[in-house]
C-alpha cells in the first residue's frame, strides 16, 4: 500500500470511528470530556490533533476574529468617504453571510501556516507534522479550502494544499501538558506586499516610519485594505520577517507591552491612515485597522525591519490540546 493510500485509509477509519463521538458537535466552545470516565480516551491524541486542526482551519476561514470585526464596524461608522463606506458595508455584509452560511469569507483561503507550541509535559510530539499534513488535506475537501499550494517554478498545483515544506510549521516550546496549535491561512494579495529593509541604525525610528509609510503607499489597494500591518524590528533579516508575521497574530485591540513600542504602533496607524488610500484603495480614512510590532535585539551595526501585511480578512484560530485529549478553542 502506498503511503498516500495508507494515509487516506487511516483517515477514513478515523472519520468512521468518529461518527459517534463528541467531535461531531461544534467545537467553537470549550469541549470538555469530564463526562467520560478518566483514562478512557475516545480518540488517540494524533487523531485529536488532526481533527482539532481541521476545526480551527474551518473556524479561521469562516469567522473573522472579534477584534477585527469590532474594528471593521467602527471603521464603517466613522468612515467619511462614501465609496469607502460602500466597501466597508460590503465587507460587513460578507462577514455576516460567511458566518450564516458557514462559507469561507474569501475564496483565497491562503497557504496554511501553523504555529505550534509544545508543552514540556506533553510528551512525544513527533507525530504532529504528519497529523497537520493530514488535517490540511482533509480540510481542503471538508471546509472546503481552495487548493492554493503550487511548486514555486513549475506552478504545478498539488490539489490538496500540501507540498514540500507546506503546511509550514513554526515551533515553540512552552510549559505544561498541552500543545497549542495556531493556524494562519495567509492570502496572497496581502502577502505579496511584504517587504524587508536593512535600515541605517543611526536613523532609528525615523527610518522605520519612512519605510512603513512608503510601503503602505506603494501597496495601495493591493493588500485589500483596511489592512493590519505586522512589523518585525531587529533580529536579523529572516527574524524581522518572522516577527512581522507573528505580530499579526496579536489581536489589534492589544498594544505592545513596551510603552515606547505601543506609542510607535499608534503613531504609525495614524500616519498610514493619513494617506487617503482607504477601504479597497478607493479613497477614505481607513487604510489600516491596526499596526502590530514585535521586536528582537539586533546587531549593533544593523536595523532589519520586516513588514507583513494582512488583508481585512485577518484569519487566525488557536486551539489548545491537553494530554488527556481535552480541547479548548483559545482564539
Partner 1 sequence: MATFRYETPISETDVRKPNIGDSVYVSGTMITARDQAHRRALEYVKTGRHIPVNFEGGIVFHCGPIAIKEGEKWRIVAAGPTTSTRMESYEAEFIERLKPRIIVGKAGMGAKTAEAAKKFGAIYCDFTGGAAVLASQRIRTVKGVEWYDLGMPEALWILEVEDFGPLAVTIDSHGRNLHEVIQSSAQEKRSDILKALGVSQ
Binding site for partner 1 (CB under 8 A): 82-83, 86-87, 90-91, 93-94, 97-98, 101, 103-109, 144-148, 150, 155, 157, 159, 187-189, 192, 206, 209-210, 213-214, 217, 220-222, 224, 267-268, 270-271, 274-278, 280-283, 311-313
Measured from the CB atom, the residue of 10 and 221 that comes closer to partner 1 is: 221
Measured from the CB atom, the residue of 274 and 330 that comes closer to partner 1 is: 274
Measured from the CB atom, the residue of 31 and 193 that comes closer to partner 1 is: 193
Measured from the CB atom, the residue of 240 and 311 that comes closer to partner 1 is: 311
Q: How far is the CB of 75 from partner 1 (least distance, A)?
A: 14
Q: How far is the CB of 17 from partner 1 (least distance, A)?
A: 25
Q: Reply yes or no: is the peptide bond before residue 167 cis, omega within 30 of 0.
A: yes
Measured from the CB atom, the residue of 102 and 253 that comes closer to partner 1 is: 102
Measured from the CB atom, the residue of 65 and 187 that comes closer to partner 1 is: 187
Measured from the CB atom, the residue of 98 and 325 that comes closer to partner 1 is: 98
Burial of 165 (0-12, 13-18, 19+ CB in 10 A): exposed
Q: How far is the CB of 213 from partner 1 (least distance, A)?
A: 6
Q: What is the 3-state secondary structure of the chain?
A: CCHHHHHHHHHHHHHHHHCCCHHHCCCCCCECCCCCCCCCCCCCHHHHHHHHHHHHHHHHHHCCCHHHHHHHHHHHHHCCCHHHHHHHHHHHHHHHHHHHHCCCCCCCCCEEEEEEEEECCCCCCCCHHHHHHHHHHHHHHHCCCCCCCECCCCCCECCCCCECCECEEEEEEECCCEEEEEEEEECHHHHCCCEEEEECHHHHHHHHHHHHHHHHHHHCCCCCCCEEEEEEEECCHHHHHHHHHHHCCCCCCCCCCCHHHHHHHHHHHHHHCCCCCCHHHCCCCCCEEEEEEEEECCCCCCEEEEEEEECCCCCCEEEEEECCCCEEECC
Q: How far is the CB of 118 from partner 1 (least distance, A)?
A: 32
Q: How far is the CB of 46 from partner 1 (least distance, A)?
A: 28
CA angle centred on 296, ends 294 and 299, rounded to 5°: 145
Q: How far is the CB of 127 from partner 1 (least distance, A)?
A: 29
Measured from the CB atom, the residue of 110 and 306 that comes closer to partner 1 is: 110
Task: State the Cα–Cα distance between residues 108 and 186, nearest whole angstrom.
Answer: 8
Measured from the CB atom, the residue of 90 and 330 that comes closer to partner 1 is: 90
Q: How far is the CB of 261 from partner 1 (least distance, A)?
A: 15
User: How far is the first Cα of the chain from the last one, in angstroms, to the nearest whole number?
Assistant: 39
Q: How far is the CB of 189 from partner 1 (least distance, A)?
A: 5
Q: What are phi and psi of 224, to 5 degrees?
A: 60, 65
Q: How far is the CB of 169 from partner 1 (least distance, A)?
A: 24
Amino acid at each position: 500500500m502506498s503511503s498516500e493510500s495508507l494515509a487516506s485509509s487511516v483517515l477514513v477509519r478515523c472519520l468512521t470511528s468518529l461518527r459517534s463521538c463528541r467531535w461531531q458537535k461544534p467545537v467553537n466552545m470549550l469541549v470538555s470530556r469530564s463526562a467520560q470516565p478518566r483514562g478512557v480516551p475516545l480518540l488517540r491524541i494524533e487523531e485529536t490533533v488532526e481533527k482539532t486542526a481541521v476545526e480551527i482551519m474551518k473556524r479561521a476561514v469562516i469567522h473573522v476574529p472579534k477584534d477585527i470585526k469590532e474594528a471593521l464596524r467602527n471603521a464603517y461608522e466613522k468612515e467619511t468617504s462614501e465609496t469607502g463606506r460602500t466597501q466597508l458595508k460590503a465587507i460587513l455584509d460578507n462577514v455576516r453571510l460567511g458566518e450564516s452560511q458557514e462559507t469561507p469569507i474569501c475564496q483565497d483561503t491562503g497557504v496554511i501556516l501553523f504555529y505550534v507550541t509544545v508543552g514540556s509535559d506533553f510528551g512525544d510530539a513527533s507525530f504532529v507534522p504528519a497529523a497537520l499534513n493530514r488535517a490540511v488535506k482533509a480540510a481542503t475537501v471538508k471546509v472546503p479550502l481552495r487548493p492554493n499550494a503550487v511548486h514555486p517554478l513549475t506552478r504545478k498545483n498539488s490539489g490538496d494544499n500540501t507540498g514540500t515544506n507546506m503546511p509550514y510549521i513554526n515551533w515553540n516550546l512552552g510549559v505544561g501538558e498541552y500543545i497549542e496549535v495556531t493556524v494562519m491561512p495567509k492570502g496572497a494579495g496581502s502577502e505579496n506586499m511584504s517587504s524587508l529593509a536593512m535600515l541605517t541604525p543611526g536613523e532609528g525610528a525615523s527610518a522605520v516610519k519612512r519605510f512603513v509609510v512608503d510601503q503602505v503607499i506603494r501597496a495601495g489597494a493591493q493588500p485589500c485594505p483596511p489592512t493590519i500591518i505586522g512589523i518585525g524590528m531587529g533580529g536579523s533579516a529572516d527574524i524581522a520577517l518572522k516577527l512581522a508575521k507573528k505580530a499579526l497574530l496579536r489581536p489589534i485591540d492589544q498594544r505592545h507591552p513596551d510603552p515606547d513600542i505601543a506609542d510607535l504602533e499608534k503613531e504609525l496607524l495614524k500616519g498610514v491612515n493619513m494617506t487617503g488610500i482607504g477601504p479597497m484603495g478607493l479613497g477614505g480614512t481607513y487604510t489600516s485597522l491596526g499596526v502590530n510590532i514585535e521586536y528582537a535585539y539586533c546587531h549593533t551595526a544593523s536595523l532589519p525591519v520586516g513588514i507583513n501585511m494582512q488583508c481585512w480578512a485577518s484569519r487566525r484560530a488557536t486551539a489548545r490540546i491537553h494530554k488527556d485529549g481535552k480541547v479548548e478553542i483559545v482564539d
